[in-house]
Amino acid sequence: MRAPHHGILGFVLGALAFLCFAPHGLYALMVVLLGAIAYLGARTANWLRAAALGYVFGLGYFLFGVSWVYISMHEFGGMAMPVAAFATLLFCAYLALFPAMACAILGARRIPAAVRILVMFPAFWALSEWLRGWFFTGFPWLATGYTQITQSGATPLGQYAPLLGVYGVSWLCALSGAAIAWIVSTFMDKRMAQFGVGAALLAIIVATGAVLGQVRWTQAVGAPTSVALVQGNIEQSMKWRPEVARSTLDTYLGLALSSKQSLILLPETALPMFNVDIPPEYFRLLGEHAKSNGGDILLGVPEYAGPQRYYNSVMSFGTAPTQIYRKHHLVPFGDYFPKWPVLAWIMGALQIPMSDFSRGEAIQQPLAVAGQRVAANICYEDVFGEEIIRQLPAATLLANFTNDAWWGKSNASEQHGQMSQMRAKEAGRYMLRATNTGVSAIIGEDGAVLASAAQFTQTTLVGSVQGFTGATPFSRWGNAAFLVLTGIAVILGLSTMASQSRR
């Protein structure tokens, strides 16, 4: 097979990967795709060609997987169509560098094939995703580990999440794919004596995952709490217009006052003006209603805290004293404009209101409301697993407040919801998702979606949630265990290469 064909096939394989994520959920396909890229990469002539194969795979992967970036910039950010298209292409071209770095090792012929495929490639793949998750503030979207959590809960590979987190699951996805690549490679090359290595490895990974699925890392605590998740369905193009602000306030007030549950959640920036500009009577009505329910209301609102200091916040009103959570992990160009001269043209092209928030504290206490201790996180924050666990084990519930209307009618909202499911699985806690247009959902401690509201409808999702106590290994260690395991794999591979060079 010649290199040009490799390139076309690599792009197609990458493009197919979007089917592995929500809402499609073909989780097993992700393992097969990684197996295919490992097989093809190991048969390239050198590391440069293997990297090129990984790069075109990455282009297909991200162009099809995060095309909603264009919608955000053009339809809601006011960027001209050609500029938005170019910026999206440039962004995906940057993201494709990470799969390229991971796949380069497959073409390093000085390393034995078994070490390249079964040891180093899975480690490099997962480490490249971890690196992508923090480089330039981080973009961990579409980490392959997310494919292993479905609407009904975790797959056998997803059961490793409470131990190793999502990047550990990515490593196991790549390791399982590498095992398939080894099976195919040894069969094609008629090396039947080595055939069983890949099969045994794959069987051990899946069987261990099934056993881990029977382990309960956390325990229920206290009585269940009734909850209402208010989905206002305020159109993004209208949300920040001053002339419709009063209507938005009335919509959310009416939906909140019609809810009789102990804990009522309104989404990120549900009230589209600073808290100091909202009539005090408005907050008084919400607080009195929450008290009549014997609980509290949590709502998203921009918080003015003094000159040049305003936050994307969640505030509580009701039986408990008013408490505030301030968003810490801000999104470049969404929550703030980074001072990067090379990207100044993006700042000038985008028209995003409330886009220079201050940063909240890195470590904040859970909100003690309605008999629970709620670890709040706002929008994009729930894609960073190590940041969510900062409020554990004190928190009994997780809650994400978001406005995914920025992404229009794309797959992004379902992809975001899938990441919330992974956070619930990693932490062993229920996750509540209060959103403007969807996906509003109640997610169990095992990552399964227990209830969800239809997108782009004005509704209130009601249900019951259970608080949990205790700590999963991941909530104690974070990514440390994953980094140790993949680090050992890299050291083993490098030592093998060094020993080969001395011969």
Catalytic residues: 268, 327, 379
How crowded is the C-beta side of 309, counted as CA atoms within 13 Å? 5
Residue with tokens 């008629």: 190
**Burial of 21 from C-beta contacts in 10 A (0-12 / 13-18 / 19+):** buried
Q: Which two tokens stand for residue 32?
A: 């097969």
**449: three-class secondary structure by DSSP:** strand
**Gyration radius of the chain's alpha carbons:** 24
Neighbouring residues of 238: CB distance < 8 A, sequence distance ≥ 6: 244
Cis peptide before 393 (omega within 30 of 0): yes
Helix locations, 133-235, DSSP H: 161-188, 195-212
Token pair recorded at residue 122: 């899975």
CA distance 132 to 57: 16
Query: Which residues on neighbouring strands pair with residue 79, listed in sequence order?
Result: none
Asked if residues 143 and 134 have their Cβ atoms less than 8 Å apart, the reply is: no
- Scanning the structure block, which residue is given the tokens 């008013």? 322
Separation of alpha carbons 27 and 204, rounded Å: 18
* Cβ-based neighbours of 365, under 8 Å, separated by 6 or more: 391, 394
- Residue 149, judged by CB atoms within 10 A of its CB (0-12, 13-18, 19+), counts as buried
Structure tokens at 127: 């480490």
Q: Which 3 state secondary structure label does DSSP give 327?
A: coil
| Phi/psi-derived region of residue 408, left when phi > 0, alpha when psi is between -120 and 50, beta in every other case | left
The DSSP secondary-structure symbol of 332 reads B
